[in-house]
Structure 1
């Protein structure tokens, strides 16, 4: 197989032919060939060296072979007819001059490379027409050399696609003879590749992946454009689809089209962060396009009514908001709009949606809904209710998921299967999903350093958490200036790289949303302390299905047991007493008691020791992890109490061993506490 750059799959451009050709070239050429594919890749390489010059233009494939030389291929998808020196696209009527364009781009590339004397090359070129059939005719003198017998063509049409690899070799042999191309040394070949693709070692760096994914997978596709056209022609439409199918992107395109037609558009959503993003995207259209959250619109209505003094409580956010906007609209205090577009509609309560439909009676309403991203604490509307409100038979279903890496899409499908086929043309790249059951040798700092080293920019990373940013990671994330958000606030938004900080604490609905926010890479961090319980969902089941993760969890449970820490690190040696596991810690001056059951008969020993000795008692259940209890401290330690007090065993750097820590907002070593 040929060495492909990038090695992580073909791009989904407007030219579907390139996707097919990528696969055929990769499979039909030997590993003596290096193939650089995609304009963004080539341009990025050249611009990195010379920001003012990017001559690659229409070069779709650059094929390098030490003996056969260098060949530039341009792909012309669609059916063409030849009209002299021009080609006419049959469906659009567009006239192009692909031969002239290709020559210009090849000569430009040769001139640019020639700036280095060692890379002055004679580059051949060819054109591929994957959808046209010229049946071996001499359809253009510039593409067929009739001076040789048999005639030599540098064009490849539909009938020759099955033998694409051999045709590439034939064309390279033709140019080798015509241009008298010399054999390149291994060093020169590698220098050429390195010049075009700096630091290429066969494995794409994460910074490059982010750049590639942003350029290739995130723009509006032909299929999504068709949905925009369909929606613009309908009065009512409900669009649904999984994460990554482009619902928000389609909604933005619809809003722009409606504004261009002179219509006033109201774009509504639930999340404030998503509303801010939509506002930025539609900023140039703000005179005729208003973006708002539901509650912000209701607050505006409230102010218009002159109600500004009352405190907004939970009841207002559920029902009072609707009362205010209904009254303001009835009094003509809210602007009129021609079109309503709702994104993340599943988060809106049914009664809110019902009123919006009443408000926009006889006007265009386009709603976007994803039931997979409804959180347990929300009372949102479902698809059937929306269809009934909009008086449509069924939702319009998006089934092509491009924005989310295929590995992540498949993980989501394993947790929540669909009743239809969800399609992704992205390559399955296992490394795009990392689920970390962290241990003492894992470091968030090292992870961030690695990403930065591979060219990832800080703005391309977002760290998500459930409710509160975990203190364990807070300092590191602030130091690296990484954006952090709760998963519920980040619904509907995307980032190239998503780090899920407390995945173990999230339910499946939250994890589903968090995983699907990434366009390049997800790193989900699971704390073994909270894993494997009865509340563990399907995501945790998938994580623990991996043997390495199960081993980490088992190791954690063994090393986190108080009984094991006491024996391994603190020298717990049981007295020769059959009825109780009792020991004495000389340095601490405390009794150590291990109980089979905190409420069993053995607990009577605690009363006995407290009644007959003045020393404090530390005791624990043999299954307890990290947490134990103190009893009858009697002034021996700071913060003492005669009550039973929970403590936890943690390593103290100052004491250089495991010691008791207080439990609370400010957890401290009880021995160091008096020194601070």
Structure 2
């Protein structure tokens, strides 16, 4: 995967000039190997560090050198009397050379030495910069000069004349020769292929790419709108491993559903008939709506698992009656589906995408779904997005079948560890309520702090919830941005009946209403403000109950507020004390 991004589906560039440079590189054969890499748009900052130490449009890397390339589109001017560059159509001061050097220095002197502490890898590479002006001719008045460690040389400029003749690769080679011949880099031995791969993975996964996702996902905070390097890395892995499955594991808010939708869009763009499956009925409704927003044409089917099994379009004969047998949904129904599946539907999909995979992991479901996929699970194209650690509330066989899946079917496993949806405050509070470990968190904004509130009775709970909503409305929060999640259905019914003018049972926004749902029904969805009614019998030793509470908190993109009976005050207080 030498080019990043590997695909332009759902991808946006900061400027047309950057896109043109990428297209030239992609259309060349220069990067059709694992010896040369070109990364677009890197932010040189570590996870959780708000201060970006350097931004760069492109980074070129091979086993001998790393080049930092800054692109400026439109008119660019240079005032030789003031020694000042002007960009933004020649109207705004800005020095592309200094910007490239700042990123070089930070990477060379801080990032790579920290990564390879005690190793010689950073000292064996050549480092350099280049500046690209694809829309304008380099200024005649610009002359070679030096300032400290920085060299300003017309030889380091790619301009319109180079661009017009498709000279990007020649320019990269020239700049590499320029810096390789520099006295300060004499005798650099370069890296092995393994070391080069390690550095490239660091650039792709650990530095946050400014990679916007498809239009439907442009909401929430700026950081939550963008795919991280690791998420892009997973999409690239799926593209470059046809006929091999992908198992993508991550906790709440790590972007699994976001990636499932992006993969869905890319598969359809490539002309593949695609099946997108999940476990939760309401999540399936959400995915269906997003599918319509993402694509205007394409052959696809989106549904939740059990509706697929009873869909007449897939069956030879009408489905049988629903059984009260506790094994019906997990074993009997998928077995019936296998026996009753129409011949025309077997091997009818080019791509299978499964969200909420932890709820579906057993041999009966996967045998049934594999029959729908061309090549089956053995050699077809499939991806499963799952969370066995935090969100496994239905399936006791998940761990056992997961090991079987890995052993039997060709696949790779990738981990998403960075929460991109929730604020740090929400993650900390969720951990205090459940005892689950805190997840690494990308978002550092803290406009609202998540809270834990205690109540003494059912009436007191309703009053406190009402007071909280009134307060949020006074702050300008709309009712549609608030969801109340109940641990038990009895709580939901009682709360809605207490004020039907304010509350409505739903998993989706209703104008002028605060929606109320059970946690089970809301799994996979999100809203800005989430108010959680704790189980009446809160039990820290009940892992499924704790999973539900953690799931509820992580539905909040702005703030979660947890209401718990005051008789459990000491439990929460002890956890708060132990966390300090």
Higher relative contact order (CA 8 A, sep 6+): 2
Aligned pair 1:96/2:42, yes or no? no
Q: 2:283, 2:524 within 8 Å by CA — same for their partners in 1?
A: yes
Change (3 A) 1:281 1:380: farther
- Partners of 1:264 and 1:321 in 2: how far apart? 25
> Aligned match of 1:347 in 344, 359, 363?
359
Deviation at 1:277, TM superposition (A): 1.3
Partner SS, residue 344 of structure 2:
coil
Q: Within 5 A, what are the aligned runs for 1:493-642?
A: 493-505=525-537, 507-528=545-566, 531=568, 541-542=571-572, 545=575
Match in the other structure for 1:228: 235
- Partners of 1:316 and 1:514 in 2: how far apart? 28
Aligned pair 1:400/2:392, yes or no? no
Deviation at 1:412, TM superposition (A): 4.7
Match in the other structure for 1:446: 467
Q: Within 5 A, what are the aligned runs for 1:167-182?
A: none
Q: 1:302, 1:328 within 8 Å by CA — same for their partners in 2?
A: no
Partner SS, residue 432 of structure 1:
coil
Partner SS, residue 562 of structure 2:
strand
- Partners of 1:290 and 1:321 in 2: how far apart? 20
Aligned pairs, number:
394
Partner SS, residue 257 of structure 1:
helix
Q: State the Cα deviation string for residues 491-539 of structure 1 (Å, max 9, x = none).
A: 122222211123554621211211121222111111225x36xxxxxxx
Q: Within 5 A, what are the aligned runs for 1:102-501?
A: 128-129=99-100, 130-132=102-104, 213-234=220-241, 235-283=244-292, 284=295, 287-301=298-312, 304-307=315-318, 310-311=321-322, 313-314=324-325, 316-329=328-341, 331-333=343-345, 336-356=348-368, 358-359=370-371, 360=373, 361=376, 362-374=379-391, 376-382=393-399, 383-392=402-411, 395-412=413-430, 415=434, 423-427=440-444, 429=446, 431-438=448-455, 443-468=464-489, 469=492, 471-472=494-495, 474-476=497-499, 478-479=501-502, 481-501=513-533
Partner SS, residue 222 of structure 2:
helix
Partner SS, residue 488 of structure 1:
helix
Deviation at 1:239, TM superposition (A): 0.7
- Partners of 1:321 and 1:451 in 2: how far apart? 45
Q: 2:48, 2:441 within 8 Å by CA — same for their partners in 1?
A: no
Partner SS, residue 326 of structure 1:
helix
Match in the other structure for 2:506: none
The structure with the largest alpha-carbon Rg is 1
Match in the other structure for 1:615: none
Deviation at 1:271, TM superposition (A): 0.4
Match in the other structure for 2:19: none
Deviation at 1:443, TM superposition (A): 3.1
Q: TM-score, normalised by structure 1?
A: 0.49
Q: 1:341, 1:366 within 8 Å by CA — same for their partners in 2?
A: yes
Q: 1:464, 1:486 within 8 Å by CA — same for their partners in 2?
A: yes
Q: 1:342, 1:367 within 8 Å by CA — same for their partners in 2?
A: yes
- Partners of 1:298 and 1:304 in 2: how far apart? 8
Q: State the Cα deviation string for residues 193-214 of structure 1 (Å, max 9, x = none).
A: xxxxxxxxxxxxxxxxxx9843
Match in the other structure for 1:536: none
Q: 1:460, 1:497 within 8 Å by CA — same for their partners in 2?
A: yes
Tell which deviates more after alignment, 402-411 or 227-236. 402-411
Q: State the Cα deviation string for residues 276-323 of structure 1 (Å, max 9, x = none).
A: 111122222663221111111111158733325735544542333213
- Partners of 1:138 and 1:323 in 2: how far apart? 62
Q: 2:484, 2:530 within 8 Å by CA — same for their partners in 1?
A: yes
Change (3 A) 1:22 1:96: farther
- Partners of 1:21 and 1:270 in 2: how far apart? 33
Q: 1:400, 1:423 within 8 Å by CA — same for their partners in 2?
A: yes
Change (3 A) 1:139 1:388: closer
- Partners of 2:522 and 2:272 in 1: how far apart? 30
Partner SS, residue 372 of structure 1:
coil
- Partners of 2:224 and 2:89 in 1: how far apart? 25
- Partners of 1:258 and 1:135 in 2: how far apart? 38
Deviation at 1:124, TM superposition (A): 7.5
Q: State the Cα deviation string for residues 110-129 of structure 1 (Å, max 9, x = none).
A: xxxxxxxxxxxxx9777744
